[in-house]
Structure 1
Amino acid sequence: MQMKELTAQQLKPLLTDGGEIAFLDIREHGQYGEGHPFFSVHLPFSKIETLAPRLMPCRSVRCVLMDNGDDVSIRAAGILESLGYSNVNILKGGSFAWTEAGYTLFKGVNVPSKTFGELVEHEFDTKSVSAEELHSMQADGKELLLLDGRSRAEFHKMSLPQAKSCPNAELGYRLPMLVSNPNIPVIINCAGRTRSIIGAQSLSLLNISNPVYALKNGTQGWRLAGFDLVNNIAINNLPTPTKEALEHGREKAEELITRYNLNTVTEDIVQNWLKDKNQTSYLFDVRTEEEFSQGHVKNSISAPGGQLVQATDEKLAVRNARIILSCDNGLRSAITAIWLAGMGHKVWILQDSDMSDTADITPENVRVIQTMTLPELKMHIDNGLKILDASTGLNYRKGHIKGAKWVTRARINYEELGNPEDWVLTGSCRMLMGGIARDIEATTGKKFKGIVKGSIEEWRAQGLEIIATPDQPTERECIDYLFFVHDRHDGNLDAARQYLKWEIGLLALLDAQERSVLSPLHPVIK
């Protein structure tokens, strides 16, 4: 395997040298969210076998691993080598070396996407309404259309009174069925800022007659204004486009492709790209997951366009890779492509494709095989066998078998455990358990006495005593959970204020290199 250490100063220029590169932060979610480099993508060590093939489908890609200065990168590099990756490098000194070199670590998640959203608002002077203005419009009975541009699951958890769910990529595609009066204002909301801005600007791309606004600061701004949200909302069905609307959307897509000089490609070329072992290609279906399940282009992966723009770093890790977008009439692909290209990605729109395939080629989770039943677990515990719990730190806090020791893969000390045959490994996530089980066998040559997945309810049903430890593991130990403004949607208004201040301030944190990749597209043909 080609592996070497790079200093932060050596790595920095490589991130924008034009070649493919995956800068991977392999720390756990809490560590990553407390501060990471702008161009890094999160690949937690605890789930590396499962997530690496999804984020880096080409095994020859140049990748660089960053840890917390604790040598976890060395372990991760060995695992990637076993998976077939041939160009693995390590950032010498980890995250501490990055800051010592004078470079910024960014708090939060989906930082490039959220920073881009802020830039879009500055660039296009996105029209917005405040929570107070929207509340007054509703109180006065003014006719308006309020659309929540987030995912359907987020909408169900909480949204605004009178809002309907319509994820961002669906806005232009579905709007003709949602409003017929061209004078009715359309307001797009999210939970904070980015998706409201991108949603409103997506409709503006289409030059629709309706006045379009982003709701300033989203649901958090609504709560800060003293208004109540609606929880556990029944999700409305998305309207099915008529034949006329589909054709109109196709014409709009062609207009956008021409106006913005977007790349297009045919399916035969894309399928050859996907076979290329020396260059990375991602084929994303930007329609809804339901549409994808009914039929899609061969070898495509479901990535609804609104979320792909909002959380690009959760779907792809390789900068300068080829990104190909697929949908039915081209409209959702074109709008998504405009935003991804503005974020510095190389994007193509797939044309004239066969969407009859139903296979899901998403790499499966690498999971451990259960070797013990719950009744057997109860018997062994009664006989004094020791228990390891590989659940997330927060799930362990909520409830675990009395006497169980919490472990996280990145920090487990296998020597302290002694003989693994004296332990049973439990947990609620087979993916997390699987990594520890493989590590213990590779380190000691032995296996755990048993491995059994279960939930609090299942353990309690077996007569096992379940206890909660609200402060254990401590926040410092709970490296897999991000505590930064974590309760901003649960009534903590100070956290909401802190979050909005953080998001608005992202642009000011960029250095010249980071700022250089973000350039919202303008029409080349008016």
Structure 2
Amino acid sequence: MYGSLFRSIDSSTLVEHVRAASKGDGEIAVIDVREQKAYAEGLILLSTNLPLQRLELSVATALPRLHTPIVIVDRHGELAAQAVERLHALGYQDLAVLDGGIERWQADGLPLYSGFNVRSKAFAEHVEHAFATPGITATELFARQAGGDDILVLDSRPFAEYHYSTVPGALSVPGAELVRSVRDIAPAPSTTLVVSCGGRTRSIIGAQSLISAGVPNPVLTLRNGTGGLRLDGIELEYGANRAHSPASEAALDWAQSATEHLVNSPPLTTSAFSALLGDGQRSLYVFDLREADAYAAGHHPLARHVSGGQLLQAIDVHAPVWNARIVLIDDGALVRARQTAYWLEQLGSFEVALMAQPEVPDATAQGPQQVPVRPIKRATVEHVSAAELAEALQHNAPSTPVQVVDLALSPAYRQGHIADSRWALRSELQQLLAQGPGRIVLTCESGQFADVAGQYLVAEQPALASRVQVLTGGNQAWRAAGFPLVASVAQAPADVAHFIDVWTPPQQTVGDLLGAVKAYLTWEVGLLEQLARDPLQAILIRGVRPPSPPAQT
């Protein structure tokens, strides 16, 4: 049906393979190649979204081992052949397609979910139910504060999210830093700690992490986070800058003792880590959980920087391979790593190990890690500099027009793009070229993806070589050369309707914001019931175990 590059498998076979991987027998990745918005409208919870649009850029970090069995998923098979061709060209050896796509999956009586990072969110709901994690509503919180109660709100999201909007008076303490810093933040055990986020997931995991560590303070989740404030008619605070200070030695000593019991295995030695790196039979992900400035000062070349809280929040994106190995790098205290490993082991399907940064060999890489891209050179594409493009646009002639086509992710395009450039999906390029004479100059955030798209386009149709160029360095180089970028401000749903490449979080909805937030929170709470009805529940979430002895106070 699909040719000789790959085979097709049915729903039951896919379930058998994932079930085996979740029990430690082999590994597998289930990759849905539709655009993110379509994926979020109906997805298989076993899958990870790697859109065909940017597959070549994302696949090296998502699927680091070329022999990992990969199953391609789409709606009913329309994108599978292209995805397999590209993956095969990049060197992947074991490729299959889910026969009939998600439509057949659903017809076979297996469930579909909506949303994004769904497995992580369902897991958090499971945690709240299993641990009976206590919570408080926004209205109750402000009533208690007005009554003089000693309450401190800790926003567990990354600082940028906190800075954009937060609970009035909240302190920024990203999830992986909560236990490390809590004894400095709230030295009096009578202070009630309320952990918040944008919705529910990170506040549940953050609050339960504090409780499981044995913090003596009363700890509550803020039910529904900043979304709950919106629904209760309470104004958010914008532009807050109250960041937690680095943990003191005393606070870190307490946190280290409080988390030692969470993970049984000792940290990796240098030789053990080297053995994992040399094992070609298993996929390996290496994540550095330290703060961004420490990572930038020096890190292992293979390590990607992800804060602990964000790793659990989006584990399907960061580690798509079932039964992969994960190494969590931290400082010598290993507090972040132990917390993260504790939750990942309960989520299931990973073999997790810890490692202290001083143990890491060659930890000398400086600056942000560059996303690796496997060799994909298929054709030569002409490049133009920012100055050359600016001159061409200034002298643009109707007979031989120059059109700038921006392939950036739509949020980046809306934030800043070259004036009069057109946003497009990669799949639309041939159609654009067929509309008339002239040339198109491809750009994107850094120019990397535009170069990939241009190579494939010219390789497939060599006659287009004279009409396709790529802006060297993309929009970043354009701005660096002193040329302006313009923003597109969405005023109504129609302004964003054609941007189908991303799922829009509810609190960024244009139009009925409160309706979107309410629907999202209802959906998130309902995940627990939906998961309970799922015959694959035992695969999706291993279970929840309480920490063994209580931490010292």
TM-score by length of 2: 0.84
Aligned match of 1:168 in 147, 170, 175? 175
Deviations 1:38-70 (A, max 9, x none): 011111112111111111111111111112335
Is contact 2:212–2:547 with CA below 8 Å preserved after alignment? no
Tell me whether 1:496 sits opposite 2:517 in the alignment. yes
| Aligned counterpart, 2:470 | 451
Judged with a 3 Å threshold, the aligned counterparts in structure 2 of structure 1 residues 404 and 176 are, in CA distance, closer, same or farther, namely closer
Deviations 1:356-402 (A, max 9, x none): 71316553468998425332331563243252523445677789789
Q: Secondary structure at the match of 1:503?
A: helix
Q: Secondary structure at the match of 1:126?
A: coil
After TM superposition, the structure 1 = structure 2 runs for residues 418-457 of structure 1, keeping only pairs within 5 Å, are 418=434, 422-429=438-445, 430-445=447-462, 446-447=464-465, 448-452=467-471, 453-454=474-475
Tell me whether 1:293 sits opposite 2:301 in the alignment. no
Aligned match of 1:156 in 128, 153, 163? 163
Shift of the alpha carbon at 1:97? Answer: 2.4
Tell me whether 1:338 sits opposite 2:342 in the alignment. yes
Judged with a 3 Å threshold, the aligned counterparts in structure 2 of structure 1 residues 145 and 431 are, in CA distance, closer, same or farther, namely same
Judged with a 3 Å threshold, the aligned counterparts in structure 2 of structure 1 residues 351 and 415 are, in CA distance, closer, same or farther, namely closer
Tell me whether 1:65 sits opposite 2:69 in the alignment. no
C-alpha distance in 1, partners of 2:487/2:300?
Answer: 47
Q: Secondary structure at the match of 2:384?
A: coil
Shift of the alpha carbon at 1:462? Answer: 7.6
Is contact 1:274–1:280 with CA below 8 Å preserved after alignment? no
| Aligned counterpart, 2:536 | 513
Q: What is the one-letter code of the residue matched to 2:389?
A: L
Is contact 1:400–1:468 with CA below 8 Å preserved after alignment? no
| Aligned counterpart, 1:182 | 189
Q: Secondary structure at the match of 1:160?
A: coil
C-alpha distance in 1, partners of 2:147/2:397?
Answer: 66
Judged with a 3 Å threshold, the aligned counterparts in structure 2 of structure 1 residues 81 and 464 are, in CA distance, closer, same or farther, namely closer
C-alpha distance in 1, partners of 2:106/2:413?
Answer: 32
Judged with a 3 Å threshold, the aligned counterparts in structure 2 of structure 1 residues 206 and 57 are, in CA distance, closer, same or farther, namely same
After TM superposition, the structure 1 = structure 2 runs for residues 472-491 of structure 1, keeping only pairs within 5 Å, are 477-482=498-503, 485=506, 487=508
Q: What is the one-letter code of the residue matched to 2:298?
A: G
Tell me whether 1:522 sits opposite 2:543 in the alignment. no
Judged with a 3 Å threshold, the aligned counterparts in structure 2 of structure 1 residues 219 and 463 are, in CA distance, closer, same or farther, namely closer
Q: Which runs of 5+ in 1 are unaligned?
A: none
| Aligned counterpart, 2:364 | 358
C-alpha distance in 1, partners of 2:461/2:439?
Answer: 13
C-alpha distance in 1, partners of 2:297/2:414?
Answer: 40
Tell me whether 1:214 sits opposite 2:221 in the alignment. yes
Q: Secondary structure at the match of 1:38?
A: coil
C-alpha distance in 1, partners of 2:102/2:157?
Answer: 32
Aligned match of 1:375 in 390, 395, 399? 390
| Aligned counterpart, 1:281 | 284
C-alpha distance in 2, partners of 1:77/1:298?
Answer: 29
Is contact 1:267–1:353 with CA below 8 Å preserved after alignment? no
TM-score by length of 1: 0.88
Q: What is the one-letter code of the residue matched to 2:104?
A: A
Shift of the alpha carbon at 1:118? Answer: 0.2
| 379-388 vs 281-290, greater mean Cα deviation | 379-388
C-alpha distance in 1, partners of 2:88/2:98?
Answer: 17
Q: What is the one-letter code of the residue matched to 1:439?
A: Y
Shift of the alpha carbon at 1:102? Answer: 2.4
Q: What is the one-letter code of the residue matched to 2:347?
A: M
Shift of the alpha carbon at 1:419? Answer: 10
* Percent of residue pairs identical: 29
Is contact 1:425–1:433 with CA below 8 Å preserved after alignment? no
Deviations 1:66-85 (A, max 9, x none): 12335322222222122221
Judged with a 3 Å threshold, the aligned counterparts in structure 2 of structure 1 residues 101 and 228 are, in CA distance, closer, same or farther, namely same
Q: Secondary structure at the match of 2:246?
A: coil
Is contact 1:390–1:432 with CA below 8 Å preserved after alignment? no
Is contact 1:147–1:164 with CA below 8 Å preserved after alignment? yes
Q: Provide the aligned length of Structure 1 versus Structure 2.
A: 520
Judged with a 3 Å threshold, the aligned counterparts in structure 2 of structure 1 residues 160 and 491 are, in CA distance, closer, same or farther, namely farther
| Aligned counterpart, 1:33 | 40
Judged with a 3 Å threshold, the aligned counterparts in structure 2 of structure 1 residues 263 and 95 are, in CA distance, closer, same or farther, namely farther
After TM superposition, the structure 1 = structure 2 runs for residues 100-179 of structure 1, keeping only pairs within 5 Å, are 100-179=107-186
Q: Secondary structure at the match of 1:102?
A: coil
Judged with a 3 Å threshold, the aligned counterparts in structure 2 of structure 1 residues 525 and 232 are, in CA distance, closer, same or farther, namely closer
Is contact 1:378–1:462 with CA below 8 Å preserved after alignment? no
Is contact 1:396–1:468 with CA below 8 Å preserved after alignment? no
C-alpha distance in 1, partners of 2:486/2:227?
Answer: 39
| 394-403 vs 25-34, greater mean Cα deviation | 394-403
C-alpha distance in 2, partners of 1:462/1:382?
Answer: 21
After superposition, the CA RMSD in angstroms is 3.4
Q: Which runs of 5+ in 2 are unaligned?
A: none
C-alpha distance in 2, partners of 1:352/1:418?
Answer: 54
C-alpha distance in 2, partners of 1:234/1:269?
Answer: 41
Judged with a 3 Å threshold, the aligned counterparts in structure 2 of structure 1 residues 144 and 365 are, in CA distance, closer, same or farther, namely farther
Aligned match of 1:390 in 406, 409, 420? 406
Shift of the alpha carbon at 1:143? Answer: 2.1
| 438-447 vs 197-206, greater mean Cα deviation | 438-447
Tell me whether 1:408 sits opposite 2:432 in the alignment. no
Is contact 2:396–2:402 with CA below 8 Å preserved after alignment? yes
C-alpha distance in 2, partners of 1:180/1:56?
Answer: 44
C-alpha distance in 1, partners of 2:356/2:5?
Answer: 38
| Aligned counterpart, 2:60 | 53
